[in-house]
Amino acid sequence: MVAFSLRFRPACGKTVADGMDFAVSDINRKKHVTLNINNVMTHKMPELPYAKDALEPHISRETIEYHYGKHLQAYVDNLNKLIPGTEYEDVSLEEIIRRAEGPIFNNGAQVWNHTFYFNTFSPKPQEKPEGKLLDALEKKYGSFDNFKAEFEKKATGLFGSGWTWLVKDASGALDIVNESNAGNPIRNGRTPLMVMDVWEHAYYLKYQNRRADYVDAIFEIINWDEVERRYEEAMNK
């Protein structure tokens, strides 16, 4: 009979235990599960927090099946193949983003980015944020509509593949930043609040080359309650 221990922890990262450890990384309250066997981390697919057709007509079921079910799965699988025997075999995704280079960074960041992206949406969204986040957006951009226009301008203007982020910097100020390819603002000391994936695989099945239409449609399904929660959590750190 093999003895092993099961233990949950608040963020994925290194644990010290004999046998087997489970970890649940709270990338904005949605489970990214890792399994630690003999001190080698195995990253698992995050839970999709809604049905695959729940975001239609803005994001189609077919897009979710390919984007979540195939692209994200490939990043998870690739990461698990790359990290054994490296200094990253038992560290969090956040640490991989901060320190790694090359394929380990690319696949690790894409797992984190996609988990954050899919958890930014809701089939029952709010029209716009409220409370402290809305106040901060209005202070920075003049109005929510101005913020939306600036975000859409950034997202449609990013050349090639990448991500457009609403972030909080170290001073507490809000900003909209573009990151190419697998880029993540955590690497530069910023806190992500909201993101839009502008890789073509995120929208091509429904919108073809009409990125601007996709970006505009995404604003119809933003879970502003979740973005507000992220903002307040970041401001309280």
Q: Is-contact 49 30, C-beta < 8 A?
A: yes
Q: To the nearest whole number, what is the mean pLDDT of the chain? A: 86
Q: Which domains can be identified in the chain, with CATH numbers?
A: 46-118 (1.10.287.990), 131-235 (3.55.40.20)
The band of 20, judged by pLDDT with boundaries at 50, 70 and 90, is very low
Record the pTM.
0.84
- What amino acid occupies position 156? T
Q: Per-residue pLDDT tens for 166-194?
A: 999 999 999 999 999 999 999 999 999 99
Say which DSSP state 67 is in: I
Note the pLDDT tens digit of each residue in 43-73: 999 999 999 999 999 999 999 999 999 999 9
